[in-house]
Structure 1
Amino acid sequence: MTRTVLTLASLLVALPAAAQDPTPVTFGTNWLPQAEHGGYYQALADGTYEECGLDVTIAPGGPQVNNRALLLAGKIQFHMGGNLLQAFSAANEGIPLKVVAAHFQKEPQVIMTHPGEGFDTWESLTEVPTLFLGENGYQSYYQWMMDAYGFKAEQRKPYTFNPAPFLADKKSGQQGYVTSEPYAIEQAGGFVPNIFLIADYGFDTYATTVEVMSSLIEEDPEAVQCFVDASALGWTTYLYGDASAGNALILEANADMTQDQIDFSIAKMKEYGIVDSGESETVGIGAMTAERIEGFYEKMVAAGVAPEGIELTDIYTLDFVNKGVGVDLKKELTQ
């Protein structure tokens, strides 16, 4: 165990003492191993989960994997949600699922444009002739963009996750994640695209949430608390300390990942405050507030993305977050 983990374990009473035999649990991610999952791999690598009593297995997602279905079926205990829209949908379907933490304070979704083509401000994007957007994006955040800012349906052309059409058309825009697609454009196109993080313009969902079934909260709240706290510590170390142990696990688990891509992703997460900004800076990574969840829900109802009448307290709990876990560690690591 590293000095940092030992120091933290001695200071934080929030983490329960580890049992003789750690409880085995599985955390299903929503994509292949990458830096955007780094805090979890870091907590696994440096023993932070084990320190508070969990034997965690990380089950990667991917094109042919539906870890959310495994959560609903009781096959895994923790699941990485994309954003709050999934939880709204679950509540509408009567699924007893709760969000217990949000490790991304900002949705990493961006719109990119070519520099110097007249589309260098958010306001100018409503005049971009073509925006390459996937179906999920068109049905979710783009509906909000049309409602809130006047974007038009006819601007959209399908995005097939191939950047070639965007690279060929300098008067176009393309969706992406701030941690990923801009890097691909820089490598393939030889230029740095304009980046517009939609979270900074009002799409203020929490993202990379931790979802559990309500039954787990009732049956083993200590395991939930351990996972939430240890993940916050893992993310703090991953962003502000030595991330090499977490990165080694990511590279081992994903043969297509590179250290250059990881470095780019970490830099963008820090630059844009994806993981740590706003409330999380004072109450710890994973922070959530009822006001923000309610405000986002109202926007999505207005845009026709979420159904009316959801009882929001059914979809989340604040019992496991906002306890300041990792705040002192961040100060120690950044001094």
Structure 2
Amino acid sequence: MKTKNVLAILSIILILSAFLSACGNKKEAATSPAPTPKSSAAAATVKPTETPVPSAPTEQVKLKQILDWFPQPTHGGLYAALQKNFYKDAGLDVTLEPGGPQVSATQIVASGKAEFGITGGDVVLQAREEGVPIIAVAALLQDSPAALFFHKGENIKTFEDLNGRKVQALLFAAYWQYVKSAFKLDKVEEINFTGQYANFIADKSSVIQGYITNTPEYLKAQGVEFDYLQVSSSGYAPYMSVIFTTEKFAKEHPETVKAYVEATIKGWNYYKDSAPEIHPAIVAANSSQTVESLNIEAVAQTDFVYGGDAKEHGVGYMTAERWNKLIGQLADTGVLKKKVDASEVFTTEFLPKQ
């Protein structure tokens, strides 16, 4: 009996051991992860719900723009691009440097001390004839706001009526050379324009140059009643406030030029309806002006910036027809020694596509 009891007990122990071993294997199988397919493992490295880590910001390209005069509304779009970070967003670190009577933007850009300049279309042509390899990339003013002002009541109806009078003008300027030649002004007493209006105000028979965008407000403030002959009515109508760079820079850095021009045009489009917002920045750069006077001037220059071909094609637009007409006029009056092809002096490839 004892032997039978022992055998029975051993049998029970063996059965329990087998049972416990089986339970242990089932528990391990339940807690071990299933093998992951290689494709699933690869997909798991980039989870759709995760926010990508931004890459380190690239260094911005430093650029210098030489203005054609002290900061004013004709530079409004550039200051808008600066204030609204349009340049920064384009990867550019832009410095706007004032011009003035002693500043030659063409020489500064040609020397490599700045990447961009602003000047008149006629000055671009004259500079190129002198061997300065610059090229126009945008025309911010579709027409010239230049005019010759005279006291109201004077018998001046046409440019021929300027003969026999004192005329203060920039005597080296191409527009004045054209007007003199086209209207045979051989009896004019020429006085070089210095920016001062005191002598004109005192001498009611005299004539002085100015801009119809800002000179009227100044003369009104002085109590002067006036009228004027707009230079473009003479047939001479160059693009003004032309942005230019060197042929070399445009060829070697086309993406930078395009980014700069597009950001500038974006600034002008913003400035159109938001000029008063930008004017404090211009006053900060040129304290001789007030926000109120700039607001008036911005309205007066609207058609020069956004009218003409710019109405359909956008700010900055230029045509070969206009450039060739200007080239012909300057060649006919002797300002240029020879005619050149317009394709050599301007390009629209960097302007935004409309």
Shorter-chain TM-score bucket reads 0.7 to 0.9
The one-letter code matched in structure 2 to 1:117 is E
Residue 213 of structure 2 is aligned to residue 179 of structure 1: yes
Say whether the 8 Å CA contact 1:115–1:193 is kept in structure 2.
yes
Residue 313 of structure 2 is aligned to residue 287 of structure 1: no
Distance 1:322 1:156, change over 3 A: farther
Aligned residue number for residue 87 of structure 2: 49
C-alpha displacement at 1:136, in angstroms? 2.6
C-alpha displacement at 1:111, in angstroms? 0.6
Say whether the 8 Å CA contact 2:275–2:295 is kept in structure 1.
no
Distance 2:210 2:282 in 1: 21
Q: Bigger radius of gyration, 1 or 2?
A: 2
Aligned residue number for residue 233 of structure 1: 266
Distance 1:33 1:117 in 2: 34
Distance 1:167 1:312 in 2: 41
Residue from 49, 64, 75 that aligns with 1:26: 64
C-alpha displacement at 1:202, in angstroms? 1.3
Residue 250 of structure 2 is aligned to residue 214 of structure 1: no
Percent sequence identity is: 28
Aligned residue number for residue 191 of structure 1: 224
Residue from 118, 122, 126 that aligns with 2:155: 118
Distance 1:65 1:90 in 2: 14
Aligned residue number for residue 193 of structure 2: 159
C-alpha displacement at 1:135, in angstroms? 2.4
The one-letter code matched in structure 2 to 1:214 is E
The one-letter code matched in structure 2 to 1:243 is A
Aligned residue number for residue 105 of structure 1: 142
Residue from 180, 183, 198 that aligns with 1:146: 180
Q: Give the TM-score, by structure 2 length.
A: 0.78
The one-letter code matched in structure 2 to 1:21 is E
C-alpha displacement at 1:60, in angstroms? 1.3
C-alpha displacement at 1:127, in angstroms? 4.8
C-alpha displacement at 1:302, in angstroms? 0.8
Gaps of 5+ in 1: 1-18, 325-335
Residue by residue over 1:51-86, the C-alpha shift from the partner in whole angstroms, topping out at 9 and shown as x without a partner, is 2222211111224444432211112111112x1222
Distance 1:167 1:35 in 2: 25
Aligned residue number for residue 86 of structure 1: 123
Distance 1:192 1:266, change over 3 A: farther
Residue 146 of structure 2 is aligned to residue 75 of structure 1: no
Q: Give the TM-score, by structure 1 length.
A: 0.82
Aligned residue number for residue 26 of structure 2: none
Residue 236 of structure 2 is aligned to residue 203 of structure 1: yes
Residue by residue over 1:251-306, the C-alpha shift from the partner in whole angstroms, topping out at 9 and shown as x without a partner, is 11112221232123212202xx2212211101100010001100111011111112
Q: CA RMSD in A?
A: 2.1
Q: Which has the higher contact order (CA 8 A, sep 6+)?
A: 1
Gaps of 5+ in 2: 1-56
Distance 1:134 1:67, change over 3 A: closer
Say whether the 8 Å CA contact 1:102–1:206 is kept in structure 2.
yes
Aligned residue number for residue 96 of structure 2: 58
Residue from 16, 30, 36 that aligns with 2:74: 36
